[in-house]
């Protein structure tokens, strides 16, 4: 990438491509009563409100948001509504049962379709397109992992979850440089995250929910939530704060915020899209260890994001951390590596944001009947679809509705606490560095990384 383009990239402000200014909602400045109070107007909180009101329209539901609806990860993600679970199904089976793991994957697959169903039925125009997900092998070790992943899925009892594509089949899907093969699953859609969260917020308001913005929660106790200027009393409290949970008293070590950073390009011409085979809405990446992710938007832009930003001491979250020049530069370099002919393509937006990670990498959703406090989150970056599942489970738990999804291994799952500082800071950043090193190791040795194998065994993440 030439120096002028680099300078242009670094001058871009922190603004998600998905963002759109909308009318401000009032803040809470009084004491009110509700049947359910939800903390957080992101996907989890809004899906929970949606399904509750669809099942019980008379419920008084209040949603409290510190900033504005969709401010957090719901308005900053890469737009994949995928059936990916953050930890391996083998680890899920070890912690619960093989049958539970199989059922979890089935439900995740169905959830991708459920998101599309609701968007269609509620006329929420969120650019939903279900073309699947392609993970491309571009080195010999990645190709080995691709073949092993498909075989492992078949051996586990999921013969149709993943398909291996050879070099020719892969290049017919996307014309990525150095493609040797790929794994493909149909169980993934892409969306415009901002349109989704804003449309969902308006829908739940039309159903009767009340959303208060600029209403930061200060304390949560059984039956009561206190904000800077108001109080909500309710028998049920839903904590839908994802990575921001670590800023709440009593939850500081329950989850850590890891940053993911993203770029959006100017629209590609029709001829370029045809040449690179980007005239589709596939979610795609390659099989490197330090995760990247991409999609084409409905208006023909390339969204490209990735991990690698550092964890900040004390689980600090700040808008100052959304832009990391070195990481955004690395993401642009990776984009150019995927598509060398796009090295002069203009980037119009860059941004970042925190996602929530529990100590065992597992999402969790549940309800403590004694306190009336419910929760959903810890999605490790795979929350666009999983938040919908959380909302359906929370509806069941709150209303006492019995369904098979209530018995999924994520329900009432208790993750261990993260270590205190400075151990947490040291361990997480060492892990991030080791993940980046694993990719370099494979380039040098042309063999699967021993470091990556050790990390996967330690965390269960994949």
Count of helix runs (H) and strand runs (E) in the chain? 12, 20
The series of mean pLDDT values per 10 residues for the chain, 462 residues long, is 80 96 94 98 98 98 98 97 97 97 98 98 98 98 97 97 98 97 98 98 98 97 97 98 95 97 98 97 96 98 97 96 97 97 97 97 97 98 97 98 98 97 96 93 89 72 62
The predicted structure's pLDDT at residue 161: 98
The percentage of the chain sitting over the pLDDT mark of 70, rounded to a whole number, equals 98
Q: Is 175 exposed, middle or buried (0-12, 13-18, 19+ CB in 10 A)?
A: middle
Going by their DSSP bridges, the two strands 217-221 and 188-190 should be labelled as unpaired
Pairing verdict, β 236-239 and 36-39: parallel
Cis check: omega of the bond before 422, within 30 degrees of 0: yes
Query: How do residues 214-249 score in pLDDT, each as one tens digit?
Result: 999 999 999 999 999 999 999 999 999 999 999 999
Averaged confidence pLDDT in the chain: 96
Residue with token string 């040797």: 180
Which tens digits make up the pLDDT trace of 166-219?
999 999 999 999 999 999 999 999 999 999 999 999 999 999 999 999 999 999
**φ, ψ (nearest 5 deg) of residue 32:** -135, 165
Q: Which CATH superfamily is domain 18-80+194-255+360-407 in?
A: FAD/NAD(P)-binding domain (3.50.50.60)
pLDDT at 455: 75
pTM for this prediction: 0.97
Are residues 9 and 348 in contact, defined by beta-carbon separation less than 8 angstroms?
no
Q: How many residues are recorded in the chain?
A: 462
**Would you list the DSSP string of 107-165?**
HHHHHHHHHHHHHHHTT-----B---EEEEE-SHHHHHHHHHHHHHHHHHT-TTT-EEE
pLDDT at 460: 57
pLDDT score at 461: 64
H/E element holding 423? helix 423-445
Q: Report d(CA 350, CA 305) in Å as an integer.
A: 9
Structural domain spans, the chain: 18-80+194-255+360-407
Q: If DSSP codes are grouped into helix, strand and coil, which group holds residue 441?
A: helix
Cβ atoms of 78 and 384 within 8 Å: the answer is no
Which pLDDT belongs to residue 452?
Answer: 82
Distance CA 87, CA 219 (A): 32
What is residue 1's predicted lDDT score, i.e. its pLDDT? 61
Instruction: Give the C-alpha separation, 45 to 29, whole Å.
Output: 21
Q: What is the CA radius of gyration of the chain?
A: 21
CA pair distance 239, 255, nearest whole angstrom: 13
């Amino acid at each position: 990438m030439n120096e002028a383009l680099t300078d242009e990239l670094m001058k871009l402000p922190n603004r998600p491509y998905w963002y759109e200014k909308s009318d401000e909602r009032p803040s809470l400045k009084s004491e009110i009563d509700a049947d359910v109070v939800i903390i957080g107007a992101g996907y989890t909180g809004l899906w929970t409100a949606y399904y509750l009101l669809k099942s019980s329209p008379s419920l008084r539901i209040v949603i409290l948001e510190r900033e504005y609806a969709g401010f957090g990860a719901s308005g900053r993600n890469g737009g994949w509504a995928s059936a990916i679970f953050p930890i391996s199904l083998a680890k899920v089976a070890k912690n619960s049962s093989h049958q539970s793991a199989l059922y979890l994957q089935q439900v995740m697959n169905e959830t991708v379709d459920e998101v599309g169903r609701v968007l269609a039925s509620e006329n929420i125009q969120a650019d939903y397109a279900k073309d699947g997900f392609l993970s491309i092998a571009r080195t010999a070790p990645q190709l080995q992992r691709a073949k092993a992943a498909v075989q492992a899925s078949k051996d586990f009892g999921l013969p149709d979850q993943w398909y291996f594509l050879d070099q020719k089949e892969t290049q017919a899907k996307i014309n990525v440089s150095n493609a040797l093969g790929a794994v493909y699953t149909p169980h993934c859609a892409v969306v415009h995250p901002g349109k989704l969260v804003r449309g969902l917020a308006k829908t739940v308001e039309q159903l009767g929910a009340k959303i208060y913005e600029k209403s930061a929660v200060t304390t949560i106790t059984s039956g009561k939530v206190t904000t800077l200027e108001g109080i909500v009393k309710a028998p049920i409290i839903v904590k839908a704060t994802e990575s921001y949970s670590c800023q709440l008293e009593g939850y500081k070590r329950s989850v850590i915020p890891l940053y993911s950073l993203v770029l959006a390009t100017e629209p590609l011409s029709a001829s370029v899209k045809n040449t690179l085979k980007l005239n589709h809405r596939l979610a795609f990446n390659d099989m490197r260890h330090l995760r990247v992710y991409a999609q084409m938007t409905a208006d023909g832009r390339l969204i490209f994001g990735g991990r690698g930003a550092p964890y900040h001491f004390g689980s600090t979250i700040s808008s100052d951390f959304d832009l990391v020049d070195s990481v955004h530069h690395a993401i642009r370099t990776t984009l150019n590596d995927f598509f060398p002919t796009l090295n002069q393509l203009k980037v119009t937006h860059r941004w970042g944001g925190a996602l929530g990670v529990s100590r065992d990498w597992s999402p969790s959703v549940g309800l403590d009947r004694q306190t009336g406090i419910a929760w959903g989150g810890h999605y490790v970056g795979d929350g666009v679809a999983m938040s919908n599942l959380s909302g359906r489970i929370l509806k069941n738990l709150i209303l006492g509705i019995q369904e098979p999804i209530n018995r999924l291994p994520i329900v009432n799952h208790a993750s261990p606490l993260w270590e205190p500082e400075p151990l947490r800071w040291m361990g997480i950043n060492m892990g991030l560095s080791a993940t980046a090193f694993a990719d370099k190791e494979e380039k040098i040795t042309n063999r699967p990384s021993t470091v990556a194998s050790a990390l996967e065994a330690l965390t269960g993440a994949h």
